[in-house]
Each structure stands twice: as structure tokens, then as C-alpha cells.
Structure 1
Amino acid sequence: MITHPEAALRSPFDLSGRCAVVTGAGRGLGQAIAQGLARAGADLVLLGRPGSQSSTRDQVADLGRDVEVVDLDVGDHDAIGRVAAEINGNRQVDILVNNAGIIDRQDSVDVSRQSWNRVLDTNLNGLFFLCQEFGRPMAGRGHGKIVNVASLLSFQGGIRVASYAASKHGVAGVTRALANEWGPLGVQVNAIAPGYIATDNTTALRADPDRSRSILERIPAGRWGDASDIAGAAVFLSSAAADYVNGHVLVVDGGWMAR
């Protein structure tokens, strides 16, 4: 806890002096979240596939923040332990944002075991093991923030995305379970459920005139979300402003769920 006299003058959203690990930060939501955390003052460790995060690294560095890129396939659970041990040995990680995720759109009768396992291994299993590896030292220190990226499909079933819906329902459940365990130890675990955001994951929907129109007709904001719309929520949940927010899934959807 900061005890300097100037602490009282700081914004509760100020992340200066904090180190945040963000997965899947190479583009889309992860890139926007990394930029938002950097603007709030945090230094960054970006975890993702080789060669995918150089642009985000440069953007964060341009904001004057310390930034490190570490190669990791979140679906490789053995690698998670090795990578996390190295990072934890060199830094105190105060914030973990689990953003990395994949989606496979196909009729449920055609989903293969390989496809099913690949989505669950990345979106849910890898997320849990990352929470475990970085949450353990957070709990030991008595302070930390974990932000998981869920989905509207943490509440709904969707169409032709059974594995994705199952994984995102699981993300909401894991978020609440860890909040119950680690809240008494000073670690807040929350999630963001983005609505329909204009990213690679929604390209197929936006390219379908009928689906795109039906989606927009339900969103009171009248537009697809932008990745930057998620950054503020991530900063909030990573900051002292959210010290009494725990086990919550924050929907950022332009009003979709209100309809």
C-alpha cells in the first residue's frame, strides 16, 4: 500500500508503479487494454504468440512505459508455468489481464474433439492456470488485481459457437470462484464482458448483412463497439477505485443486455 504523503492527491485510477501482464495484446481488445493501462501509468509485460505483439510494444514504449514482450501460446499449459516463474522471478506483477482467446464458428454437429479442446484449452484452461501462477504471489503479498475477459456469451448461448460459449461461461464461473477464495487475501478477481465489438472475432458477423442489421437494431448505442471502449473498464478494475469490487462480470455492450 502506498503511504507517501502525495498518495492522497493521486487519482484512484492511477496505476503508476504497477506492473501489468496482458495476454493476447497484439491486436483488438488486448492492444486497447494494454494502451489504456499504460496511459494510466502501468508498466507492461505482453504475453502472446511469437511476432504478434511488436506493434503494441512500440505503442506502449511511446507512452513512456517500461514494456517487455514474452512469447507464449496460452493453450500450452506446461509453458505457462515456465514463463510465469521467469516473470515472477524478475518482477512483482500487480495486475493480470487474461484477454487471449479464440473462436471457432461451425455447426455443433460438426465440431471435432480437436477444435473443442483447442478453444477450451486457450479460453478457459489456460486462463485458469495463468490466474493460478500469478495469483499465488499476489495472495502471498496481500494485494493484486486479476481481470478476465469474458463475453456476452458468458450469459447467452450464441449461434454456432458452442465451444466458445462453454469457455466463456466457464470464465465467469472461475472469476467468481477465485474471487471467493482470494478476496479475503486482498486479491480482487473480476471480468469484463464485451458486447459486439468490431474486432477479428466478429468479422463474420459484420460481413453478414442480416446478422449485422439484427445486432445493431438491438444495441441502444446504435453502433458496434470499438476496442477502446473496453480499455476504461480494464483500468477501473485494475485500480484502487475497484478495491471493493470482487467477483463481478462487468458488461460493456452499448446496452445490448438491457434489451
Structure 2
Amino acid sequence: MSDAPDFSLKGKLALITGSTQGLGLAIARAYGASGARVIINGRHAGRVGAAVAGMADNGHDAHPFVCDIGDLAGQAPAFQELCERTGVPDIVVHNVGIRIRKSLEDATLADMLELINVDLIAALHLSKLAAAAMVEHRLQGRFITLTSIAGELARPGDAIYPVAKQGLAGMVRALAVEYGNQGITSNGIAPGTFATETNASLANDPIKGPIVLGRNPMARWAHPSEIAGAAVFLASPSASYVNGHILVVDGGFSITF
């Protein structure tokens, strides 16, 4: 056995939800570069196809999974079909999510249910399906969940999102203790302020944008590719004894006040 850390994902199959853009696509590219077969997921066939083609152009082995992860009724048959067509994923990255920036006063019940279902319940349900398949096939599986520093912090006018993200942090720990004895680990990544399509409106806001930037000790937004190291590490053999941990990647944002 080599003493050198092993960050290779060769021979692994990784499903990254919501991976046609942003952090999901950055993780997919990093996994492909690390040797994994990658499953690109999204709701729109055109976007999924374009992302798969882009991965192939870079020499990566990528496969499409057109599925609305937030469609709870359709999730199980879609995942079953994926496993039959492409294989059972060794690695599942929960990345898909929506953001409804509203105060609690302005948020409707429909807003609450939509965000909680897509950002939390969908991930929990997919974990149930994937864990059962991993156990059946005796895989040393990995769950990696994109939580957020918003799971520990809150901002006025954004009342629902932190609730869902704190729920995901709980899910990370629940999966870790439930499946650790099966050789399946569960960890999270809590991103800070990344320059993604989802955050474009906040970054460009003339008032809130500079406030967010000014709080960060590194005084800049992160590039999506800067999530890659954490994601590869947690999926790799080098993280074989890391379980139930949430790795914060925020430039120091959450330690300042």
C-alpha cells in the first residue's frame, strides 16, 4: 500500500444532481478529470446534452440523466431506469436546489413547500433510493451534500432557504450514522459566496453586493472551480474515514463579524 494520498476516482460512477451549470458542473468536470464516469443531471434535455458533450470534448466519460429531482413522484422510476441503463452510482452529490429570497412575512405556503421539497425532501428521498442500491450491490458509497453557510447564518429577507440548508446538514449526519457500518460515508460541503448563475443578482446588487464582498476576508467571490478540491477529496479513497463532516469553503466569510 502506498503512503501517498489517493485522490483518484478511477472506476467510480458519480451522479451529481443539478450539474448542467454552476457548482454542479464544476464538480462534474473535476470528477471526470479524476477518472470517474459522470452522470450529468438536469431538467432540460438540451442543457444536459450540451453539458455531456462538453465533458466528452474534454475526454471525460459522461452520461445524461434528464430528470426533475424535485418531482418526488417521478424520482424513483427515473432512478431505477438510470441504474439499469448506466449503473448504480458509487458517489451521489446532492447539489440541485432553488432559492426563493423572501421574508417570512412575504413568503407564501406554496413558496415554503416548493423550496423545502426541492432543496431538502428530494435529496432525502434520493438518498433513500441510492443507499438501498449501494447496499444491495455492496458498494463503498459516498454521499456528498452541498449545504451552505446559510445553514448556520441568516439574512433578513431570506427566511426559507436557511431552514432547508440546516435540514440538509442534519441529513448529512443522519446518513453518516445510518450507513457508516455498511461502508457508505456521508459528508457535506458548505459553500460561501460563489460567482454562479444563481448568485448573479446578489453579486450585481448595488447595495447588497458590496456588503457581501466586504465581509469576506479574501475580498472576492469564489470561482465555481474552487469547489472542486473539496468535492474530489470527500469522494476519494483519502477520505475513507471522514464521515458526518461538513467542510466549509467560504474564504473565511462565516468566521467574521
1:40 aligns with 2:34: yes
Q: What corresponds to 1:190 in structure 2?
A: 187
Please report how far the alpha carbon of residue 151 of structure 1 lies from its aligned counterpart in structure 2 after TM superposition: 0.5
Q: What corresponds to 1:25 in structure 2?
A: 19
Amino acid at match of 1:81: A
Alignment of 1:43-192 (within 5 A): 43-50=37-44, 51-90=46-85, 91-140=87-136, 141-192=138-189
Q: What corresponds to 1:206 in structure 2?
A: 203
Which stretch has the larger CA shift, 209-218 or 249-258? 209-218
Higher helix fraction (1 or 2) = 1
Match of 2:233 among 225, 231, 236: 236
Q: What corresponds to 1:15 in structure 2?
A: 9
**Whole-Å Cα distance in 2 between the matches of residues 194 and 170 of structure 1?**
15
Structure 1 residue runs of 5 or longer lacking an equivalent are 1-6
Please report how far the alpha carbon of residue 92 of structure 1 lies from its aligned counterpart in structure 2 after TM superposition: 3.0
Deviations 1:33-68 (A, max 9, x none): 100100001001112112222332122212323211
Matched-pair contact (CA < 8 Å) for 2:16–2:93: yes
Equivalent residue pairs, number: 253
Q: TM-score, normalized by length of structure 2?
A: 0.93
Matched-pair contact (CA < 8 Å) for 2:90–2:139: no
CA-atom RMSD, angstroms?
Answer: 1.6
Amino acid at match of 1:135: A
Please report how far the alpha carbon of residue 142 of structure 1 lies from its aligned counterpart in structure 2 after TM superposition: 4.7
Please report how far the alpha carbon of residue 195 of structure 1 lies from its aligned counterpart in structure 2 after TM superposition: 0.3
Amino acid at match of 2:129: E
Q: TM-score, normalized by length of structure 1?
A: 0.93
Matched-pair contact (CA < 8 Å) for 1:34–1:56: no
**Whole-Å Cα distance in 1 between the matches of residues 75 and 107 of structure 2?**
27
Please report how far the alpha carbon of residue 212 of structure 1 lies from its aligned counterpart in structure 2 after TM superposition: 1.7
Alignment of 1:209-228 (within 5 A): 209-228=206-225
**Whole-Å Cα distance in 2 between the matches of residues 142 and 68 of structure 1?**
20
Matched-pair contact (CA < 8 Å) for 1:27–1:53: no
Deviations 1:132-158 (A, max 9, x none): 111112234151001011001111122
Please report how far the alpha carbon of residue 244 of structure 1 lies from its aligned counterpart in structure 2 after TM superposition: 0.9
Please report how far the alpha carbon of residue 252 of structure 1 lies from its aligned counterpart in structure 2 after TM superposition: 0.2
Amino acid at match of 1:37: Y
**Whole-Å Cα distance in 1 between the matches of residues 12 and 59 of structure 2?**
14
Structure 2 residue runs of 5 or longer lacking an equivalent are none
